[in-house]
Structure 1
Amino acid sequence: MELEIERIGVNLIVRIDGDLDLHTVDTLRERIEERLTGELGIQNMILNLKKVDFIDSSGLGFIIGRYKQISNHGGKLKIINVNDSIKQVFKLSGVLNIVDVFTDEQEALQAV
């Protein structure tokens, strides 16, 4: 799993390359937490899942946890570039009821 994190203004963009599962979520959580606690003024997070092909319940828990963390501070979590199979998992799990999904980073940045 590879991870690229970029800050644009008050937005933290997280680009994930690999599966979101039991084997990867702890590392993801730690790296994102470092940025959130180490930098002042981050309000929103955009998760780019363009290179994610698989997500399990641990990955869903990771996303819901980031949603709670960001929304508790008045921010928004946006998800972009979701393939059809992961979108179906989001639909069945209820993630689509709490998180907005966009097609690309520009669209998500304009919506926050």
Structure 2
Amino acid sequence: MIECKKEAITKGIVDQWMNEWGILRKSIHQSHTVRDGKAKEIMLQAIQLYESFVLNASNRQDLPLENEQYEILPVNAIERLSFIKTRPGQYACYRQLDELFIETKKKCARLRLKH
């Protein structure tokens, strides 16, 4: 198990990370609404934001995330992230990434109580 660092999942850090996601999320949603073709590019930024948070919170710097051994990851996160990466321009992938952000935020809250 790759444990997370408690100092890397404080409420303030997680809230800042979620705020960054919120900005990207609005842009992705808007892009899908107007069908301007920019969603894929923004999704790639969002994927990078997600992965860098997981790695930093786990004191790891080796991309890509390839196993479910990260304590901070929700259930089936690697499989879901792989799906997202194969078709980042699709709306379904955007929704799946949104769920990963939400579930990871909740997992961080549980881990703060545990540590």
**Common fold: TM-score over 0.5:** no
More helix by share: 2
More strand by share: 1
Taking structure 1 as the reference length, what is the TM-score of the superposition?
0.30
Answer 1 or 2: higher relative contact order, Cα 8 Å, separation at least 6: 2
